[in-house]
Amino acid sequence: MLVKILGIFDVVAAFLLFAISFNLGIPKGIIIFFIIVLLAKGAFILTGSIASVFDILGAIILILTLFFTIPKPILLIPGLLILQKGILSLL
């Protein structure tokens, strides 16, 4: 059950990265919430999960979007990786 919930967070975080890449107005509070979620999920890298690197990478990119304009490919590629991870968690 927990894996499915974390998978849903991955899918939503991926769509958040997609929305930011298309310049949709996302409130900063939502971005900060998903930064915290991705960093918490990325802490599983300490257990040896390589897929957690994608969560940390996504969180770093989301942090950078708060301060800078990030090019679209830099947002889309981690978004696709996190989306893939989320969909596989749901299956």
Question: For residue range 22-80, what is the model confidence (pLDDT) as tens digits?
Answer: 988 889 999 999 999 999 888 877 777 777 888 888 899 999 999 998 899 999 999 99
């940390």: which residue's tokens? 56
Determine how many CB atoms are found less than 10 A away from the CB of residue 8.
Answer: 13
pLDDT at 31: 93
**Is pLDDT at 1 greater than 90 in this prediction?**
no
Q: Which residues in 62-75 are b (16+ Cβ under 10 Å) and which e?
A: beebeeeeeeeeeb
pLDDT of residue 19: 93
Query: Any idea which residue has 């299956």 for tokens?
Result: 91
Per-domain boundaries in the chain: 2-89
